[in-house]
Amino acid sequence: MAVVPAALPTLLVLDADPLPRLGRLTGRARVLHTDEASLAARLPAADVLLVWDFTSHAVRAAWPGEGPRPRWVHTASAGVDHLLSPELAASDTVVTNARGIFDEPIAEYVAALVLAMAKDLPRSWELQQRGEWRHRESARVSGTRAVVVGSGPIGRAIARTLKALGMTTAVVGRVPRTGIHGPQDLDRLLARADWVIAAAPLTEQTHGMFDTRRFGVMQPSARFVNVGRGPLVVEEALVRALERRWIAGAALDVLTTEPLAADSPLWHVPGLLISPHMSGDTVGWRDELGTQFVELFERWAAGRPLKNVVDKQRGYVPGH
C-alpha cells in the first residue's frame, strides 16, 4: 500500500522588500505571500504567519476576522505591539519575535550617539559645511552616569557597551532583581543621570512614560536617547524640555509616527538628533532575520519548543 505523505504546513509571509530567503524550507512548507490588502482573506489557510513587514499594523486589523487562525506567528522585529490585537493576545496562537538579532548593533548605535553628542560632532559638521574654523571644548563620557530603561537583552547590551566607555550604568526593569532596579527607583536615578537611554518594550505601563514630569526630573546637563519604541515618549513634552533647556539634548531613532513627515517641526528642534529607525539595521541584518526564522521553523516542524516566545499579556519575551 502506498504511503500518502502528510500535507505540508502552509507558511504565509506578510511581504516587504527584499523578501526573506526561505530556500531551506523548499519541500518542507507551502509558502504563500501576501500584502496588507489580502492578509485577512489568506489568514484562515495559514498554519504559520511570518510578519516580515514588521512596520505593518495589518495583523491587528485582520486577526479578528472569521475562520481558523495560524497556530504560530513570528515577527521579524523585537517589538510586538504592532501585531498584538486583543483577539490575538487571547488566542492559543504562539507569538515569537526576533530577540537576539539587534542587541549589539543597537548598543553600538547608542554608544555612537552618546559620543557624537558629547564630542559635539553634529556642530563640527555644520561648521565644516560653512568652512568655519571654531575651536571648542568637548565633554568626556568616562565617569558620567547612564540610566538604561529596559532590562531585556537590548538594554543589557547597551549597559555593557556604555560601561566599556567608563560610564557608571544603572538598568531599570519591570521587576527589581540582582543588578536591575525596579520602577520605584527610576525618578531617583533620572535625577542624577547624565544620559538616559530608553530601550523598553511598548506596553500599557510604558506608553508615554517619558512625559513632562520625567523630563523635569532630569538634570539640565542630561541627554536623552530613545531606541525603544516611539510612543514611550510624549514628543511634545520632549520638545518643550529642549526648547526650555530643561535637558541638554536628545536623540530619537524611533518616533510616534514613522516615517516622519518632511514638514514635521521635530526636524528643526534645537538639540535634537533624528534618525530613521535604523539603530539595529546593520549590513546583513535581513539575512540574519531570515536564518533565525528558518531555524525556528525547523524546531516547530519537529515538535520542539520554540525559542523567543512572547508573553502576549506582557508584550515581550519574559525571563530577562
pLDDT single digits (tens) 38-53: 999 999 999 999 999 9
Widest CA span of the chain, in angstroms?
87
21, 30, 277, 320: the catalytic one is 277
Q: How confident is the model at residue 217 (pLDDT cuts 50, 70, 90)?
A: very high
Q: For 145-162, write each residue's pLDDT tens digit.
A: 999 999 999 999 999 999
Give pTM, 2 decimals: 0.93
User: What value does the mean pLDDT of the chain take?
Assistant: 96
Q: Is 258 known to be catalytic? A: yes
Q: For 265-289, write each residue's pLDDT tens digit.
A: 999 999 999 999 999 999 999 999 9
Residue 45 has what pLDDT? 96
Q: Is 229 known to be catalytic? A: yes
The pLDDT > 90 percentage for the chain reads 96
β-strand pairing of 168-172 with 48-51: unpaired
- pLDDT score of 3 more than 80: no
- pLDDT score of 2 more than 90: no
In Å, how far are 27, 176, 197, 225, 247 from 219, measured between CA atoms? 59, 24, 14, 14, 6
Average of per-residue pLDDT across 100-118:
98
Q: For 63-105, write each residue's pLDDT tens digit.
A: 998 999 999 999 999 999 999 999 999 999 999 999 999 999 9
Q: Is 277 known to be catalytic? A: yes
74, 82, 214, 229: the catalytic one is 229
- pLDDT score of 239 more than 90: yes
87, 236, 258, 295: the catalytic one is 258
